Amino acid sequence: MNHVQAIRARLDEHQLDAILLTHQANRFYATGFMSSGTDGAALITPRKAFYFTDSRYTEAAGKRLSGVFDMGTVTAKRNYETLFNEVIASEQLRRVGFEDASMTVAGYRKYKERLNCELVPASDILKELRQVKDADEIRALTDAQRIAEKALLEILNDIRPGAAEREIAAKLQYLMLHYGAEDKSFDPIVVSGANGSLPHGVPTERAIQDGEFVTMDFGCVCHGYCSDMTRTVAVGHVTDEMRRIYDTVLSAQLTGIETARAGVTGKDVDAAARDVITKAGYGEYFAHSFGHGVGVEIHEYPNASSLNEKPLPAGAVISAEPGIYIPGKLGVRIEDVIVITETGRENLMKAPKELLIL
């Protein structure tokens, strides 16, 4: 899977002769070849596509990219700037887009000084393209979700009084890799009892106790695409208040999901879910946004937040993850990932959501 054609199609409207892609996620999106950090760069022109990397990656990159990309190897004597300048000269490139949102200041200074072209900020091109997923991307995202769900199903056997948050988090990572994930999409969050009020809490040695909630937020990478899911389960028994809070979060999530469709703004989706929590009296305990885009990166555009007044496009993939967090007491979050369609949405998540008391 590569997105050379889609990127190329955007060059004209931005009056660009080429776009230089150095950011890891954008490079992968453009080429379909994953390499870490700064180990590679792609240059896409209206007629050609180039991929430059060093000898550690040339064989693997060549297998993946040959036929579509002209390959070049960076050496001690021929650095990235030299290779770029050769293409700039041979293809007569004048205006070259670069990734202003992710390039370091040092990187920009270096390229501005040494490249024989005008560098034009162009991060928005990839940002916008990546918001709309194609069928291959949806398949990759779905595969990543299935693996996370398998891990969830199995980890439920380990959640019992005495088990440590950190132990559950470690095993979740193992299970996702075991079931075929390439990586985790972020460090799993496993928080129990009063720790649950920390939306992005770090798992501790704390032992899970009877009568508590355990919130697990985790995901993995499959075919280069991320999954993201949160389930909150109870251990032993729940109080009426715990049940009320859980039901409120679930109802808010379902309402947000029902509201989401192409043309509705991220702000409206967030507001619909938030309204349910506010009406139940817990408004002050839901401080974060309803959801974020998910794709090559775990957090990308578009967001389902009060700040996003743009309509969600068909093909956007967003998380749906309201929560209630009462400091010093407990927290509940439920998260699925949905695809926005012209007529509604499709939930990529199949795992059940009714309150589970283990």
For position 300 contacting Zn ion by CB under 5 A, the verdict is no
Q: Which residue has the tokens 């400091």?
A: 327
CB of 85 to Zn ion, least distance (A): 41
For Zn ion, give the closer residue by CB, 228 or 300: 228
For Zn ion, give the closer residue by CB, 18 or 334: 334
CB of 33 to Zn ion, least distance (A): 26
Q: Among residues 217, 268, 270, 336, which is the contact residue for Zn ion, using CB under 5 A?
A: 217
CB of 194 to Zn ion, least distance (A): 20
CB count within 10 Å of CB 305 equals: 19
Amino acid at 281: G
CB of 335 to Zn ion, least distance (A): 5
For position 228 contacting Zn ion by CB under 5 A, the verdict is yes
Span near Zn ion by CB under 5 A; candidates 70-78, 82-90, 99-107, 220-228: 220-228
Span near Zn ion by CB under 5 A; candidates 118-126, 174-182, 221-229, 280-288: 221-229
For Zn ion, give the closer residue by CB, 43 or 220: 220
- The count of chain residues that interact with Zn ion, using the rule CB under 5 A, is 5
CB of 320 to Zn ion, least distance (A): 9
CB count within 10 Å of CB 339 equals: 21
Sign of the alpha-carbon dihedral angle for 36, 339, 312, 274: negative
Q: Are 228 and 319 in contact (CB under 8 A)?
A: yes
Span near Zn ion by CB under 5 A; candidates 3-11, 37-45, 215-223, 271-279: 215-223
For Zn ion, give the closer residue by CB, 122 or 144: 144
Q: Which residue has the tokens 């012209």?
A: 342
CB of 21 to Zn ion, least distance (A): 26
For position 149 contacting Zn ion by CB under 5 A, the verdict is no
For Zn ion, give the closer residue by CB, 43 or 338: 338
Q: Which residue has the tokens 């650095």?
A: 79
For Zn ion, give the closer residue by CB, 3 or 333: 333
For Zn ion, give the closer residue by CB, 22 or 253: 253
CB of 88 to Zn ion, least distance (A): 40
For Zn ion, give the closer residue by CB, 195 or 230: 230
Q: Are 258 and 223 in contact (CB under 8 A)?
A: no
CB of 172 to Zn ion, least distance (A): 12
CB of 4 to Zn ion, least distance (A): 29
Span near Zn ion by CB under 5 A; candidates 105-113, 163-171, 211-219, 253-261: 211-219
**x-or-dash pattern for Zn ion, window 304-333, by CB under 5 A?**
---------------x--------------
Site residues (vs Zn ion, CB under 5 A): 217, 228, 230, 319, 335
